Amino acid sequence: MIIDHPLLGPRDSSEFTYLGDARLIDRPDPDGQDAAAAFYDYAYLRDNPAGWHRELWFHEAGDRSWLVVTRNTLTHEISKVELASDVARVQGRSK
């Protein structure tokens, strides 16, 4: 599997480590009213889709950047690769 890194170009997936669902970026507010329930959901409950999935990959043997990779779990086709910092910025986080 080849991941087309936004900065470095196509790199072999063996250079990366996989973390999981990209929704891990959206950490709940620890001071919120429903913080306990929100963190339970955040930490333990995941979808396991057969198909397109947005997931976090770490370029460990490269530039050490976190990526959000949109991957089809059935075919391993990758349709989009973004820097996780850019994704967070678009959401108004991590200025």
Q: Is 10 left (phi over 0), alpha (psi -120 to 50) or beta?
A: beta
Tell which one of 1, 2, 7, 37 touches other proteins (CB under 8 A). Answer: 7
C-beta closer to other proteins: residue 28 or 62? 62
CB atoms closer than 10 angstroms to residue 44: 7
Tell which one of 4, 26, 29, 63 touches other proteins (CB under 8 A). Answer: 63
Among 22-30, 39-47, 55-63, 68-76, the segment contacting other proteins (CB under 8 A):
55-63
Q: Calculate the alpha carbon distances from 60 to 1, 4, 72, 91 in Å.
A: 16, 15, 22, 25
Which stretches of the chain bind other proteins, using CB under 8 A?
A: 7-8, 12, 14-15, 60-65, 83, 85, 94-95
